[in-house]
Structure 1
Amino acid sequence: MATIHWQEIVAQKRKEQAASIPKDWILPNLPSKDTLNVIDFPEKCGLLTAKEIEITNTEVDVILKKLANGIWSSVEVTTAFSKRAIIAHQLVNCLTEIFIDRALARAAELDKHLKTTGKVVGPLHGLPISLKDQVNIKGIDSTMGYVTWASKPAAENAVLANILEACGAVLYVKTNVPQTLMWGETFNHIFGRTTNPYNRSLTPGGSSGGEGALIALKGSPIGVGSDLGGSVRIPAAFNGLYGLRGSYGRVPYAGCVNSLEGQDSIPSVLGPLTNSIGAIKAFLKSVLSQKPWLHDPLVVRKPWNEDEYKLADHGNGTQLCFAIMWDDGHTVPHPPVRRGLEATKQALLAAGHRVIDWTPLAHAEAFQVAGTIFGAGAREDFRVTTAPSGEPIITTMDLSVDTPGVSPLPPDAEPFFSPPPDGLSAYELWQAQRRKRDYRQAYLDHWNATVEVTGTGRPVDAIISPCAAFTARPHGSSKNPGYTVVWNVLDYASLVIPTGLSVDPVLDVPKPAHDFLTGPDKVNYEIYAPADFKYAPIAIQVTGRTLEEEAVIAMGEIVDAALKNNLKTCN
């Protein structure tokens, strides 16, 4: 039998995807490609009814109450978000798998259950939830951007998919990722490139970029992403969303497909992206209510802890001490990122909290350790996975690769880390893992030592930092995850919070050149031109310690409320 060329597989897969889109939802009035900001288009396009606009603009806590009380049906809510998801896809190319008929059948069953019993199925009853492509759903592909994995539907649900359905959620779409997942952008040969709805000349980030773009356009109330070096937090930040990177083993990962399988020194974790901080809490509390440690052996046996959420270990939240990391000692952030940090500081001071400066501890070491561990077997992993289809390994996220198979860079070009040609020996990998262990100990000691300067009798309660040294960047240039990957190495819980601000060419003018910290710092400085980043949201990151998800969410609520109050005062 003749071998099918990988581009033929791509053509067939794209044809199948197109056929899964309801024909009545295909828009004839899409904005021109020159229209950069399309964030408001879904409500103006004419496809959504007034009630569907209301539903998709409502925060998750309120949606869940209306579903539980029978004010809104799951079919209504699922239809509203499905239509808005299809609009979003036509604007920014954010979806991979679309199974709306299946979702509506599930929603109808949930409505019938509520009507018959008067009870909800679970805490997420009737709520649509989108999934990053790698989360397996029985009978549906998880290509993860690999042509090799096309038309090979999953035999079983991932554990998280089962848990979400047990909570009453409705699964309806999966979202786009970069081939290999090891990029801060989103492009693959099968589904192409996802763009940022605030400015389509910019990336939505990666690798959960499809989720970020979809939720920014309110095509989903909650989406599940994964985070190995920032892949939840970078898309959350670039799209003006909330996103949680929890500690290893807090959310079940079993049954998902992934790159670098078997690399468990810095594991990837699943986490939510959403438009409200209340939805972050609802997601984690709901997942933990199902005792996921009984279904995934790597999940930590830790139920939701209400005392930790009430900040019992942090003075009950009456006066917190936050430390702001203005830069990581490696790359100085662009002016809008700095403005977001300054706004956060003023908001927290006005709310009665203490704010001090954070001195980063050898963050370049964390970056190097992560690159070594990820790179130990990455080259072979990518080669083995792509070999059956013959598809090229993507070596750049530059716009010139929008035509599948075309790459202007030499084959030895890589993502942010550079895998050694022959990998690492077991001994060399052990040394990198030892460096990671020693770094975690040093950082713990460094954090504990701040008890001498906080004025609260406790060490710093949380660190506030940039999510990246830049806001959403032009396609092909988001290559430095240093501000996120450090927390993966340390296994600290970290929550992205939008500041409500965006890049303003008048306010965010370039600063005079400083003494550059590193070569990448100089490159980052030189790439900044305010007009190239216009409309991009500005976000910050709130980071606590290992397994402090409840406390980080609670402290995030405090930061979020302070920022919103400060914006009201300024306006």
Structure 2
Amino acid sequence: MTVHQENRPWQEIAQEVQAARDESIAQVEPQPSLPESLPSRVIEVPRQCLSPAEVAITERSAEALVESLAAGKLTATAVTKAFLRRAVIAQKLTNCIYELLPARALARAQELDDYFATHGKPLGPLHGLPISTKAHVGIAGRDSSSGFVGWVGRKNADDASAVKILLNAGAVMYARTTEPQGLMAIETCNNIMGVTVNPHNTALSSGGSSGGESALQALHGSPLGIASDIGGSIRVPAANCGLYGLKPTTGRLPLLGLSAYVLGCETILPTIGPLSPTPGALNLFMKTILESQPWLNDPSLHPIPWRDQETHIHKNGKNLTVGVMWTDGVVTPAPAVTRALREVVERLKIVPGVEVIEWEPFQQKEALEILTKLYNPDGGEAFARNLALSGEPYMSLTEWSARDTPGIENLSHQGVWDWTMKREIFRYTYLQEWNSKAPIMDVILAPSSPTPAPQLHTSRYWGYTSLWNLLDYPAMVFPVTKIDAERDARDAAYEPRNDFDRWAHEHYDADKQRDAPVTLQLVAKRLEEEKLLQAFKEIKEKVGLPFVDCLA
């Protein structure tokens, strides 16, 4: 549906959306006040602006919250009010909110409290848990712009399927978070809301396209959020902000009710997934949605329940086998990333029951070529048309990702078929290579990005995450440590191997990226989400992850 804006300047439309957001924030009472001067690292600021009770509530894990709510130790209203206030603070610090939903959220919380008072039990497994969502995940009656000014005014007729499932489980939807122009960047910046910054260091990117979610959660403004991923859009924000993020296999979680200009194009499919400050929330999210059996109403989904009770590793006394990919062979990881990976591997090697083997990067250049063709099979024409609806200009990073990346071209029908076949051949060949290892790997441990959270407007390379979208493998990101300006300094003698490598190397500065979390990525084969989370839990416990609390 095209929304006509009467040829108004795009700036005027953007200002109206910002005013609506500000109005939603003003409805939260009492309004928190911030210190007059702020540091570049604002992680600790919310603790100065909230009561001890509010701090205690908002810094609990999602799992602990649902336990306390189910036991009647906390009310849904108290929890919702605390997170609304903390979300207001997060917005003022990082510009992460598309809009708050205070009236809806508080009415829902009261409904849940009334149910508990009447029945003496929770309504469902997520009773009273506040959940935030990336703005392109549909909420009934709310605006759905997907980062395009020309889409402002499009309204969702209904809640997205995932939102309905979470609400039926007792959740409270209270915040919608920012996203980049057209959703197509790994930094969150658009002409509607501007740029969302990283609370660890406000000169750095919070990631994208779920960067509003990551900034909000790094400030404990949300215990759990709905994010989405087509090339790294869950994992890059998780990496930049020191969070836990899971990209599931496509077809496990419902997409009905999401908006995006690429919907209907099946060359590279998106997926939704959880993003959270704590790892247990990933399991909670997946289990809750899949226990609702969404495939009964959505033919696009695999009829596979959540199999967390099955034993996927250590069968017949087998070790957990971890393949280590030190580099993708295209962009060399920065010293901070290599150090984090080395420290984890050194500890894993002495852990009983774990076997560590080497995994050489496999046909990464070919993978990037396929991805470039299939992300923009129309040569970027649809993206340009959606900008033209309002006359808004490209952002610098979407100009790169949707138009100027070398290799983007408008494919013929035959070209789409040919490159899609190359995708399928690549998937087959990669699986054979995986299966050729002895012992066969359970998971791959790899960098999540070539550098920790980069400086604003420099995020160009997503090969470490998009590879797994091409393969349709589940992948998760988890925090390990923080950048160390002295130990992680750039190697001045390093000779970049290509333009991507040169860009990443030249824009890495351990001092300017001070306080940035350093994360890694764990990957399993297709439809092995349960095995992936089980393997991570074992690795986390046995090596003591994270080595540094990134959100402290």
Partner of 1:19: 23
Partner of 2:463: 482
Partner of 1:442: 429
CA distance in 2, matches of 1:214, 1:379: 31
CA distance in 1, matches of 2:443, 2:500: 27
Report the CA distance between 1:351 and its aligned residue.
2.8
Partner of 1:63: 65
Q: Is the 8 A contact 2:190 2:395 kept in 1?
A: yes
CA displacement, residues 33-81 of structure 1 (integer Å, 9 cap, x when unaligned): 6x21000110012xx2211111111111111111111110111111111
CA distance in 1, matches of 2:177, 2:57: 21
Q: Is the 8 A contact 2:86 2:221 kept in 1?
A: yes
Instruction: Decide which moves more: 142-151 or 18-27.
Output: 18-27
Of 496, 505, 509, which residue of structure 2 is paired with 1:529?
A: 509
Report the CA distance between 1:141 and its aligned residue.
1.0
Partner of 2:182: 180
Report the CA distance between 1:238 and its aligned residue.
0.6
Partner of 1:343: 343
**Structure 1 gap segments, 5+ residues each:** 398-410
Residue type of the alignment partner of 1:448: N
Of 434, 440, 453, which residue of structure 2 is paired with 1:472?
A: 453
Report the CA distance between 1:343 and its aligned residue.
1.6
Cα distance change, pair 389–330 in 1 and its aligned pair in 2 (3 A): same
CA distance in 1, matches of 2:351, 2:507: 36
Question: Aligned with 2:265: secondary structure?
Answer: coil
Residue type of the alignment partner of 2:43: I
Residue type of the alignment partner of 2:132: S
Report the CA distance between 1:124 and its aligned residue.
1.0
Q: Is the 8 A contact 2:454 2:508 kept in 1?
A: no
Q: Is the 8 A contact 2:397 2:460 kept in 1?
A: no
CA distance in 2, matches of 1:549, 1:281: 9
Report the CA distance between 1:486 and its aligned residue.
0.4
Give the TM-score taking structure 1 as reference length. Answer: 0.91
Report the CA distance between 1:325 and its aligned residue.
0.5
Cα distance change, pair 117–418 in 1 and its aligned pair in 2 (3 A): farther
1:548-563 paired onto structure 2 within 5 Å? 548-563=528-543
Of 518, 530, 552, which residue of structure 2 is paired with 1:538?
A: 518
Report the CA distance between 1:278 and its aligned residue.
0.7
Cα distance change, pair 210–250 in 1 and its aligned pair in 2 (3 A): same
Residue type of the alignment partner of 1:207: S
**RMSD (Å) for aligned C-alpha atoms:** 2.0
Of 210, 213, 236, which residue of structure 1 is paired with 2:212?
A: 210
1:387-402 paired onto structure 2 within 5 Å? 387-396=388-397
Report the CA distance between 1:495 and its aligned residue.
1.0
Cα distance change, pair 42–319 in 1 and its aligned pair in 2 (3 A): same
CA distance in 2, matches of 1:2, 1:272: 38
Does residue 498 in structure 1 map to residue 479 in structure 2? Answer: yes
Does residue 427 in structure 1 map to residue 432 in structure 2? Answer: no
Q: Is the 8 A contact 1:132 1:208 kept in 2?
A: yes
CA displacement, residues 472-531 of structure 1 (integer Å, 9 cap, x when unaligned): 0001111000000000000111111111x1001122122353454323223322332210
Report the CA distance between 1:558 and its aligned residue.
1.4
CA displacement, residues 375-403 of structure 1 (integer Å, 9 cap, x when unaligned): 11252211332333222232347xxxxxx
Report the CA distance between 1:103 and its aligned residue.
0.3
Residue type of the alignment partner of 2:437: T
CA distance in 2, matches of 1:426, 1:151: 33
Question: Aligned with 2:333: secondary structure?
Answer: coil
CA distance in 1, matches of 2:293, 2:401: 43
Question: Aligned with 1:251: secondary structure?
Answer: coil
Q: Is the 8 A contact 1:132 1:224 kept in 2?
A: yes
Report the CA distance between 1:317 and its aligned residue.
8.2
Partner of 2:41: 37
Cα distance change, pair 521–63 in 1 and its aligned pair in 2 (3 A): same
Of 148, 151, 165, which residue of structure 2 is paired with 1:163?
A: 165
Residue type of the alignment partner of 2:178: N
Report the CA distance between 1:15 and its aligned residue.
1.2
Cα distance change, pair 220–412 in 1 and its aligned pair in 2 (3 A): closer
Cα distance change, pair 137–2 in 1 and its aligned pair in 2 (3 A): closer
CA distance in 2, matches of 1:55, 1:331: 41
Report the CA distance between 1:206 and its aligned residue.
0.4
CA distance in 1, matches of 2:530, 2:476: 11
CA distance in 1, matches of 2:80, 2:369: 44
Partner of 1:385: 386
Does residue 564 in structure 1 map to residue 544 in structure 2? Answer: yes
Partner of 1:315: 315
Partner of 1:222: 224
Cα distance change, pair 281–434 in 1 and its aligned pair in 2 (3 A): same
CA distance in 2, matches of 1:495, 1:416: 29
Partner of 1:109: 111
CA distance in 2, matches of 1:283, 1:307: 16
Report the CA distance between 1:85 and its aligned residue.
0.9
Report the CA distance between 1:27 and its aligned residue.
4.7
Q: Is the 8 A contact 1:30 1:91 kept in 2?
A: no
Cα distance change, pair 418–316 in 1 and its aligned pair in 2 (3 A): farther
CA displacement, residues 210-257 of structure 1 (integer Å, 9 cap, x when unaligned): 001100000000011110000000000110000000001111111110
Residue type of the alignment partner of 2:443: A
Does residue 460 in structure 1 map to residue 441 in structure 2? Answer: yes
Partner of 2:125: 123
Q: Is the 8 A contact 2:34 2:89 kept in 1?
A: no
CA distance in 1, matches of 2:6, 2:287: 51
Cα distance change, pair 14–516 in 1 and its aligned pair in 2 (3 A): closer
CA distance in 1, matches of 2:502, 2:407: 24
Q: After TM superposition, what 4+ stretches of structure 1 lie above 6 angstroms from structure 2?
A: none
Partner of 1:407: none
Question: Aligned with 1:276: secondary structure?
Answer: coil
Q: Is the 8 A contact 1:202 1:475 kept in 2?
A: yes
Q: Is the 8 A contact 2:240 2:517 kept in 1?
A: yes
Report the CA distance between 1:295 and its aligned residue.
2.6
Question: Aligned with 1:200: secondary structure?
Answer: strand
Residue type of the alignment partner of 1:383: A
